[in-house]
Amino acid sequence: MQNVLNNAGRAGAQLPGIEHLTLAGSEQGLSGLSVWRQSMAPGAATPPHQHDCEEVVLVVEGSGELHLDGRVIAFGPDSTLVLPAHRPHQIRNTGTVALKTIAAFSASPVGTFLPDGAPIALPWRS
């Protein structure tokens, strides 16, 4: 297991409007934790989705809204989003600058699914 990773030299992945880097996960030998860093362009959003584990998102920079349980909840920098397992949600950047986040998941790899339960093939490993 590599204990110190130089993130600047690591290859990331992208979805439309989203830049992603898995900071730590199953490729580093973890089974109960995965940590992701993402940057979302203004106006971009994740697809509505759910995970098979708990997720905590730390908002480093920017602002947006969380769609969860039929509610739309606005948030800004220095916010924490707490997302239970198996609950469909969506994160949208409503600001004029990149929405920068760090997310921690209680599993590795992280299962990601559409609200109807169909798996989503992400362009990165967790």
Mean pLDDT, the chain cut into blocks of 10 residues (126 residues total): 89 96 95 97 98 98 98 98 98 98 97 97 90
Could you tell me if residue 4 is inside a domain?
no
Rounded to 5°, angle at Cα 43 from 105 and 22:
25
- In this structure, is residue 51 part of a structural domain? yes
Write down the pLDDT at residue 126.
Answer: 83
Is residue 3 in a domain?
A: no
In a domain, 2, yes or no: no
Residue 44 domain-assigned (yes or no)? yes
Element (H, E) at 102: strand 99-105
- By residue range, what is the domain housing residue 66? 12-111
> Residue 72 belongs to a domain with what CATH number?
2.60.120.10
pLDDT number for residue 2: 81
Instruction: Give the residue carrying structure tokens 């924490």.
Output: 80
Residue 65 neighbours by CB under 8 Å, 6+ apart: 72, 73, 74, 75, 91, 92, 94
Q: Based on the structure, what is the number of domains in the chain? A: 1
Which pLDDT value is given to residue 71?
98
